[in-house]
Amino acid sequence: RFRKRIVAKELDFVFAHNGVEALQQLHAEHQIDVILTDINMPEMDGLTLLGKITELDQNVKAVVVSAYGDLPNIRIAMNRGAFDFVTKPIDFQDLSITIDKTIEFVQKIKEQQEQLQEALEQLKYQAFHDQLTGLPNQNLILSRIRQCIESEQHNSLFAVLFLSLDSFKAVKEGLGHIFSDQLLVEVSRRIEKCVQPTDTVARVGTDEFAVLLNNLQDFQEAQNQAELLRQALKSPFKLNGSMVSSTTYIGIVNSTVGYAQPEDYLRAADTAMNYAKTQGRSSTALFDTSMQHRTLERLQLEADLQEAIERQEFYLNYQPILSLKTGQVVSFEALVRWRHPQRGFVPPVKFIPLAEETGLIIPLGEWVLSEACKQFSLWRSQFSNYSPLTMSVNLSGVQLENPDLLHSIDEILQSLSLSGSSLKLEITESILMNKRSTATALLEQLKARHIQLSIDDFGTGYSSLSYLQSLTIDTLKIDRSFINGIEKREKNLEITQTIINLAHSLKLDVVAEGVETQEQLDILRSLGCEYAQGYFFSRPLDEQAVVAFMTQSHAW
């Protein structure tokens, strides 16, 4: 009778007598989009059911139909994820309209999720493969080396070869990039023909290739394989009607070195290849400990990093984040820099990963947070006409697991009389997923302090709709890789549009990173992006340059 009273729809109904049965049906049926539930039910009431539904499947939306339509019940229901609340006695035409709206919302979210997933799948393929040759790239071969490291515990032997061509530059300068590209493709095909299907061939540099040899019986196989490759690449290549010869240098590292990180194997093979270049044309070299100068350099950098924290060699730059509606600065992202007394400027990409590996990111991160907040405290009164203004600070995965993090944040904010709303913490998407159990509770505690939360580099990791819904975040920052070329590459435009639509459907703001041209800015405005940062507006600035920037007039 209930179904007949609803305006005729092409809908399938599944009925349950109580909340327990409803959950069982939800487990059994994978196509349920909307749940209609009363509040007063035996065994499990509707409000409890709402919480269970949210835990089980956040794509399912619930409509509460109940005579208990007082404000407290409605508030509890909506807080527990109800999409709408219909009071009894039922107006079945109104209920039908509510069901339509709910289904339309669910389908829209699913469509956006599918579009995003499809775009990200293609992007992930591109992220792990070389566009020119179709070979795996460095990211993929590192992943497979990691698998071999784990398998080595079961006595599985492997080796990594690093190959470099010395003719590429001459071909490019003499024949042009079309034929130098053709040379790389031909080299790729020859290497692939020399190895087993279970091995991995990757392009890891402009004219550099790496080969991962799996399941070796002994390491002489690696030497034999290197010789086979050297001979195969020794034969001339036919390019533009001319025969072009190439010299190949090969470095080899065996799994007996016992490295724990895949990057170390690739570096060791590269080191051996560079040594081979000193031994004559078309040489091959096997890595040994005498070539470990790069490892020693890393250890020295680690020691320097420890001293740099103690000697206060770090400083901050600040990159403005602007509103695309008003053109005004709304926030600054604090970026740590290192000026070494002997090395000079040390790029963050070189010392930040090392700081995370060694745990030095804890004291360094606390210093960054403290200095950024101190500077913001000064600017708050100086730039009082810019309101609300916030300070954005990056948070690493190691910091997320630091039990003293909240205490440190509280102390810093209280000492400067700053409210939590002045601070915005940026956490990368991959860190949130990898530290999900730790992150969820921590984010809720940060949110309770009114601290704003951003997902940095969104789109480069998992991009899961369900985890976005479950986390208490405010902003998505679109990774610069999507913005770069958005005016030329349709795929970048589609992905950016999908991310913006997804964010808005979840009532999140969007910041576009890496904006460098007026055309990119115009496109982002047309897509409804709220905020942006990048060299088009300003490079990261020191404190004095920020003051000058803020006092100048800009027409964005």
Highest mean pLDDT among 132-146, 344-358, 382-396: 132-146
Highest mean pLDDT among 317-321, 465-469, 472-476: 317-321
Q: How far apart are the first and last CA of the chain?
A: 61
pLDDT at position 2 is: 56
Distance separating alpha carbons of residues 243 and 164, to the nearest angstrom? 19
pLDDT at position 1 is: 52
Rg (CA), the chain: 29
The average confidence (pLDDT) of the chain is 88
Cα four-point dihedral sign 22, 23, 25, 29: positive
Highest mean pLDDT among 57-61, 62-66, 148-152, 395-399: 395-399
Residue 475 pLDDT greater than 80, yes or no: yes
pLDDT at position 215 is: 87
pLDDT at position 314 is: 97
Residue 8 pLDDT greater than 60, yes or no: no
Run of H or E including 212: strand 208-216
Residues 6 or more apart whose Cβ sits within 8 Å of residue 134: 188
Residue 115 pLDDT greater than 80, yes or no: yes
Question: What are the tens digits of pLDDT across the range 531-552?
Answer: 999 999 999 999 999 999 998 8
Tokens 């003051």 belong to residue: 547
Residue 329 pLDDT greater than 60, yes or no: yes
Q: Which residue has the higher pLDDT, 204 or 80?
A: 204
Question: What are the tens digits of pLDDT across the range 462-473?
Answer: 556 667 777 889
Of 3-12, 223-232, 407-416, 518-527, least confident by mean pLDDT is 3-12
pLDDT at position 78 is: 87
Mean pLDDT of 267-293: 86
Residue 261 pLDDT greater than 80, yes or no: yes
Question: What are the tens digits of pLDDT across the range 477-488?
Answer: 999 999 998 998
Q: What separation in angstroms does the CA of 41 have from each of 16, 18, 207?
A: 11, 6, 69
The string of DSSP letters for 258-308 reads --SSHHHHHHHHHHHHHHHHTT-TT-EEE--GGGTHHHHHHHHHHHHHHHH
Question: What are the tens digits of pLDDT across the range 505-532?
Answer: 999 999 999 999 999 999 999 999 999 9
Q: How confident is the model at residue 86 (pLDDT cuts 50, 70, 90)?
A: confident
Look at strands 314-323 and 329-340 and give their pairing: antiparallel
Look at strands 509-512 and 531-532 and give their pairing: parallel
Tokens 């950098």 belong to residue: 301
Distance separating alpha carbons of residues 469 and 503, to the nearest angstrom? 10
Predicted TM-score (pTM) of this structure: 0.53
Q: Name the 3-class secondary structure at 214.
A: strand
Distance of CA 323 to the CA centre of its chain: 23
Cα four-point dihedral sign 238, 240, 243, 249: negative
Residue 7 pLDDT greater than 60, yes or no: no
The string of DSSP letters for 6-53 reads SPP-S------SSHHHHHHHHHH-S---EEEE-SS-SSS-HHHHHHHH
pLDDT at position 464 is: 62
pLDDT at position 227 is: 95
**Phi, psi of 369, deg, nearest 5:** -60, -45
In the chain, the domains with their CATH numbers are 2-126 (3.40.50.2300), 138-291 (3.30.70.270), 319-334+366-551 (3.20.20.450)
pLDDT at position 204 is: 95
Question: What are the tens digits of pLDDT across the range 402-428?
Answer: 999 999 999 999 999 999 999 999 998
Mean pLDDT of 370-389: 90
Distance separating alpha carbons of residues 110 and 520, to the nearest angstrom? 28
pLDDT at position 294 is: 60
Residue 278 pLDDT greater than 80, yes or no: no
Mean pLDDT of 286-291: 85
Q: Which residue has the higher pLDDT, 55 or 147?
A: 147
pLDDT at position 213 is: 96
Q: How confident is the model at residue 268 (pLDDT cuts 50, 70, 90)?
A: very high
Percentage of the chain beyond pLDDT 70 is 94
pLDDT at position 499 is: 92
pLDDT at position 346 is: 94
Of 52-61, 71-80, 289-298, 382-391, least confident by mean pLDDT is 289-298
Mean pLDDT of 184-211: 95
pLDDT at position 46 is: 83
Query: Could you tell me the two tokens for 526?
Result: 């047309």
Look at strands 390-394 and 423-428 and give their pairing: parallel
